[in-house]
Each structure stands twice: as C-alpha cells, then as structure tokens.
Chains A and B, each alone.
Chain A
Amino acid sequence: MYPRPIPQTAVGLRRAYMVLVIAILVLWLAPLFAILLTSARSTSDIAAGNLWGWPTQFGLIDNYVGVFTQTPMARFFANSLLITVPAVVFVLALSTLAGFVLSKYPFRGSMLVFAIFIGGNFLPAQIMMIPVRDLMVRLGLYDTTWALIVFHTAFQTGFATLFMRNFIAALPKELFEAARAEGASPTQILIHVVLPLVRPALAALAILLFTFIWNDYFWAVVLTLSDTVKPVTAGLANLRGQYVSAWNVISAATVIVAVPPVAMFFLMQRHFIAGLTMGAVKG
C-alpha cells in the first residue's frame, strides 16, 4: 500500500492522523454544514441578520414543512422521480442489449458505433440543444416529462452502452462458447447467460444513472416550462429567484434536492464507486 499504513502500534501517530483528517474533512464539508445550519434557522433570525450566532428559535421543521406546503417543491420532487425512474429503466434495457451485441457479435463498423457512443457522451449539451428542443416541440413532447425521459434515455444510452459492453466483454469467453456449442440462440444466451451475470453491473449503472439524471439542470430548463413538469433542479433555481434572501427556505430546498442522490450513494456506495471507476483503473 502507498502511502505506508500507519502501524497499529503507533497509537499516538494514529490519533494525530485521525485528528488531521477530520479537521480537513470539516473544512472540506464546511459549505454543506453552512447550508444545513441555515436550513434550521428561523425566519425571524434571518430577518434580523442573525445568521451565525446562537439561534433565538429553531426553524428546522417550519422551514422544511414550508418548502413543501408554500412552494411547488413537492410537485418538483414527484416530477423528478417520474422522469428519473423510467429513464433509468429504459437506459438499462437499451444498453444491456446494445452492450451485449457490441461485445459478443462484432460486425463491420461496430468499433465505430462504440466510439460514437463514447464520444457522444462527451459532447457539449449546447451542440444538440436547438434541434432536440425543436424535435420535442414537433413530437408534441415539449414541456412534458416525456421530453426529458426520451432525451435522457437517448443521451445516457451512450455511456451506459460503453459500461455494459466493457462488463460483458470481461465475462469469461468460455461461458458464451459453451452456450453456443449447446445450440443456444442469441436470445437464449441473453436470458440465461448474460442477464444473471450482469446484475452487479446493472446495480452500479442504475445508481450512476439515477444520480446523473436526477442532477441534470440544463435539459430541465431547455425542455420544460411549467411547474407541473419541472424537476427539482430547475425548481430550485426558480425558488432562488422568488425567495431572494429567505436563505433558510432556499437552504432547506437545496437539502431536499441533494438528499436522494446522497442517500442512494450511501446505500449503494460500493456499487457507485465500482461504477464510476470501472475502466479507469484497469484500462
């Protein structure tokens, strides 16, 4: 290991190390602590300019209840779920199929297709913005959750296919040869060999996709207008305009936007890290 592990016997050194690390961690997360603390401030304290002193009263519950009752945040939250969950499911399906074919049934140009999937993933959103918006208008999807579902499904399929292709390509070749030798059709191989084996990859991919799509802001503002359709990210930006200096409410709303991906991350941390670093390390 590098750096060298601090030996178990060096108790003093271990303690000093932990103190140092936690001090840096506190600095690192200071902006988050600031927002969490502010989200517990009462409106009267905020109005009086008492932002960091001892609170005269606590506003924690008022603020969070307020976000849900006095702003459309509940609606935004539901919209985000209605967009994110179907999009994740569609991407998983499309990318498993495409990744399976790209890894096990190479055809002329399959490397080009693969390269386009990877490259497309790194394009600036602006280069496709106008035609995509136009397309959604013409399909009658503009300002509906379907506009975002369709776009995210298309866009994330690039990254997800790369991910699934690499995972399936790394599965033991013999499994596929054995299945073919036994006369299994591609569909049977998909159902009986690929699907049972890719479950961990699907878990890792699902949580990554959830985070990417949930956190999207650009497409939310490009493809939606109404509060009834907007996801939380665009909603939060709107609230910022309306509640200019009500930092306690904005902080609470920010925390609400941040909670689902953070919770997902802590619940499925291993999968998340594995997904994010896949390919980066082996290469």
Chain B
Amino acid sequence: MSNVWRRHRGWITPAIFILPAIVLFGVVIVASSLQSVWISLHEWDGFGPMQWIGLGNYEELFADPQFYTSLKNNVIWLVIFMLAPPLGLGIALLVNQQIKGMRIVKSLFFVPLVLASVAVGVVFTWVYTPQFGLLALLFSAFGASAPALLSDENLVTFAVVFAALWPQIAFCMVLYLAGLNSLSEDLIGAGRVDGARGWNMLRHVVLPQLTQVSFIAIAITAIGALRSFDMISVMTQGGPFGSSSVLAYQMYEQSIFSYRFGYGAAIATILFLIMLVFIVWYLNRIMRAEDRSA
C-alpha cells in the first residue's frame, strides 16, 4: 500500500488539490450552462415535466418583436460602451502626474468602479428623476425642463447606458493608468529625441505599448455591455413597455415572472452565442500570450 502511495503521490496529491475546484466549477457553472441549451429545446414551467419541442422556442423567439427590441438595445449598449476605453484613457492621461495630492484624486476617480451596480442604478435614477433630480436642477439653471428620460421609450436605453458607462470608464482608467506606469522610459526618450510630441508621441510611441491593455479594456467592456442586467432591472425593469430591455433582462423576465423556462433558456442560449464570439476572441489571445511566455 505505502509503496503504491509512494510511487503515485507525485500526481495523486495534485489531483486531490485541484479536484474540488474542477468539480464545483464543472457542476455549477459548466454543466448548468450546457443544461440550459438542453432546456431551451423544451417547453417547461419550472415544476412539471419538460416537454420536447425541438426548435420551437427559437422559432417563437425569432418571431417575437420584443426579441428584436432587446437585440437592438444590446447593440446600443455595445456601441456606446466602446466610448469607455478612450474616455478611460483620456482621464488616465489627465491624472497621470506626480504632484502632491494626485494620489487621492486618482483614488476618487476610481470610486464608481467599486460601487454596486444596484447603487449606481439608484444613484442615476435619482439623478434622472423629473423635476427633482440633479439633471432637472441642471436644466432649470438654463431655464429648461429636463426630459423624463426613464419614461421616454426613445431615450430610456441611452439614459441607462450612460449611467452604466460611469463605472466602466473608471475600470478602463485603472487599466490605462497601470499601463502608463509601465511604459518604457527609454522608448519615450527615443521618441522625444526623434522629435515626437503630443499626439504623435501618443499615436506612434505610447499607444503601441498599450495594445495589450487596450485589448483587455475593449474585450472586457464588450462582454460587460452584453452582460448588462442589474442597471436595467433597477432603473427601468425593461420598461416602458419593454423598450429598454436587453436579452439578459428579457430572459430573466420570461423565466421568473412568466415561468417560461424553456423560452428563457432559448434567449440565454442566443445571448451566450453572441458573447461566445467575444469570449473566444479573448481566450484565443490570452492563450496565445500564454504559449509565448511558456
């Protein structure tokens, strides 16, 4: 017995070490995700037996106008969220000075990042509140009255996205600040000797050193845009009349409120397929970087 142990302990112990993580992650995350795809092929109320309907849920989904509203809103989120990396870079460039007091200023710029998205949602609901909110105050200073953003079908999604953009910009700023601090001092010097200044320095010398940071900022921002749920749930609950819903919220609504788990699973599967593009892109690049360093 002890002989067997001694011969195999080289791999048995590591196997025991990694097993809990693999089992837990495998069962709760991976298996559940796959199971959703299976559920999406059924009609199911969450309690009774599942009934196989093949692609029925998908057929219904593709005929559902709400699906296209949600999809369109997801695209709006994605497009507007792409402002976060350049704006984050902008603020990072602005605050990247070593002057007494700048440390605390930088920390204060980071704050939105650590706020719960529910809190951000409540904060902006308050900011957008007609007549009383901060926005109304701002408009009244110019003698105008602020539009009721959250009850306007055409503006509501933009209002929510701009609120969500706030912490996302802070996130990109943190990444870029770290990137700016690891720039090669010699390369900057070489650029200066070569006469590059301002925009040329940024474009030709600085940004090329930040490609990895930019990639991560863009990829994570894209994934974050598609995952958006909390802010919509807190600020509008998809309304008015589903006009601010996104796939993630529509799925939740169909499952939890309408007990249409099969249909909800189909929406989740579509969302998953869209995000897979970004996840695979991200993984591919990370793994290639991994191979290079290995």
Contacts and interface: CB of A to CB of B under 8 A. Distances in A.
Task: Report A-B touching, CB under 8 Å.
Answer: yes
Interface of A: 1-3, 5-6, 14, 17-18, 21-22, 24-25, 28-32, 34-35, 38, 49, 51-52, 94-95, 97-98, 100-102, 104-105, 107, 111, 113-120, 122-132, 134-135, 150-151, 153-155, 157-158, 161, 185-187, 190, 211, 214-215, 217-218, 221-222, 232-234, 236-237, 240, 247, 250-251, 254, 257-258, 261-262, 264-266, 269, 272-273, 276-277, 279-283
Contacts of A14: 99
14 contacts: A32-B112, A95-B21, A97-B17, A122-B223, A124-B271, A124-B272, A130-B264, A158-B29, A217-B234, A232-B116, A236-B122, A237-B234, A257-B116, A262-B111
B258 interface: no
A271 to B, nearest CB: 13
Contact of A1 (B96, B223, B287): B96
Chain A interface, >50% SS class: helix
Contacts of B230: 217-218
A132 B31 CA distance: 9
B39 to A, nearest CB: 6
Contacts of B252: 126, 129, 218, 222
Contact of B286 (A28, A118, A190, A277): A118
B134 A30 contact: yes
A18 to B, nearest CB: 7
Interface in B119-151: 119, 122-127, 129, 131-134, 137
Interface of B: 9-11, 13-15, 17-18, 20-22, 24-25, 27-33, 35-36, 39, 46, 91, 93-99, 101-102, 105, 107-112, 114-119, 122-127, 129, 131-134, 137, 166, 171, 174-175, 178-180, 182-183, 185, 188, 201-202, 205-206, 212-213, 216-217, 223, 226-227, 229-230, 233-234, 247-248, 251-252, 255-256, 261, 264-265, 267-269, 271-272, 275, 278-280, 282-283, 286-287, 289-290
Contacts, number: 305
